[in-house]
Structure 1
Amino acid sequence: MPPAQGDRPDTKTSKTLHNGIEVLELLARNPRGLTVSEVAEGVGVHRTVAHRLIRTLEEHRLCTRDPSKRVTLGPGLVSLAEAVEVDLRTVAGPVLMELAETQGATAHLVVPEGEAEARALMVVEPRGAHAHIAFRAGRVDPMDQGSAGLALLSAMPPREREREEVTQARSRGYAITHGEVTHAVSGVSAPVVGRQGKPVAAVGVSVLELKDPEAIGAAVAEAARRLAVLLPQA
C-alpha cells in the first residue's frame, strides 16, 4: 500500500532520502523479502525509481537480493545497529546498576528484534543480594511473552488480539509476568520511549519472589523514564 499523502516528506527535506528510508522500513516489516515491484508499490514510486533506490542501498550493504531476486535487509545495518547499541549500553549501565542494587534483583535492558522478538542487550546482577536470577545477554524471546516484550508492545499502537497484560501495562506504565520465559521467575518491565514516541528498549528486573509489585513497578518505570531522558537527542 503506498504511503498516505500526509506521510509524504515536506519540501524542505530530501524526497530521495525519505523514499530510501521508507524502503528500509518496508523491508523490516517483510523479513522474507520483496520483489522490486512490491517495493515500488509499497513505497508508492515507479518501478524504475524503486530499482535505483535498491541499487543505492545495495552499494552501502543496507539491502541485498537473494538468488530469486527478492530484496531483504543487508548486513550493513548490523554495524549501524551495533554503534547505536554501544551508546545505549553506555548510557543504560549506571541506571541498570542502581536499579539492580536498590531492588536486590537482576536488572535487564531488552531491545526489540524485528516485529516479533525481543533481545536482552544488557544484564546486571546485584552485588549484595544473597540470591538472584542469572541469565546471559543476547537471549531472544518472543515479544508477546515476558515482561520486557509486553512492555515494548505496550508502547506501540494496540494490535489485533493483543494480550490483556499489554493493555494493563499501557495503563499503569509497566508490565508484570510470572514464569513466562523462565520457570518460576517473575518479571517487571517498563518501556523506554525515544524522542519519536517509539519504544527503543525495555528496562526491568527478574525476581524469584514478587513481594511488592507496585513498588517494584514504580522503580522500574522511573528507571525507564530516567534512561529515556539520557538518550541522545538524535
Structure 2
Amino acid sequence: MEFPVKHCRTCNIWRPPRAHHCRLCDNCVETHDHHCVWLNNCVGKRNYRYFFTFVSSATFLSLYLIGASLAQLIVYMNNENISFSKSINHFRVSLALIILGVFAFLYPAALMGYHIFLMARGETTREFMNSHKFTKAERYRPFDQVSFWKNILAVLCRPRTPSYYQFKKAYGNGDQRLGLHRDQRPRLDSRGLEMDAVKPTSAGFQGPVALRGESQGEP
C-alpha cells in the first residue's frame, strides 16, 4: 500500500515514515509513539524498548513488593503459631507496603499490557488512535509482520539507529541543536508566500483605471 510522506514546515524536513512532529519537544520524532509526561520526553524509535523495560520493571517490582511483604506476614504467622491479624499487628509496615504495592501495580501493569497489545499488532499509540477515525474495513497496518512474535521482536530486538543529533559535532547550517524555540520564532503568515498581502505601490487610488476619474470627482 502507499504510505504518505509529509513535509514538516517547522523542522523544514521531509518526515520519514511513521515520524511525527511533537509540539512539546518541538522536533520530529521517528516512529513516534507518544510524548510521556512522566518522563518529559518523547517515546520513539530509539528509546521505545527502554520505555517498555521501565514500565515492565515497575510492574514486576510492585509484584515483588506485594509478595515479599505478604510472605513476611505468613512466615511469622506460621513460626509463632498466631493468627494473621496478630501477625499484621506485629508487622504493620508490611501491610502498608502491600497496600502501596497494589496501588503501584495497577497503572504500570495496565500500561505494559497495552504496549504488548500494540507491539503484537505492529502499531504505535498514535497509529492505533488515528485508526479509529476510519471504519474497520478501512483500517490497515502497513508495518504488521503477520506473526505475533515477529511484531514484538521487530520492536524490541531491532538495532538502535544512530542519533540525528550529534551533540559534539561542529555546528552546521540548518543545525537544530541551537535553533530557537517555536514560541520565540517570528510569526509568519500560515497561508504561505504565495498568499501574502500585496503592498500598495503608492498612496493614491488603487482601483481600476476606468474608475480612477470618478474617484477624483471627474465626470
User: Shorter-chain TM-score: what band?
Assistant: under 0.3
Flag the structure with larger Rg. 2
Name the TM-score, length of structure 1 as normaliser.
0.20
Task: Please identify which structure carries the higher strand content.
Answer: 1
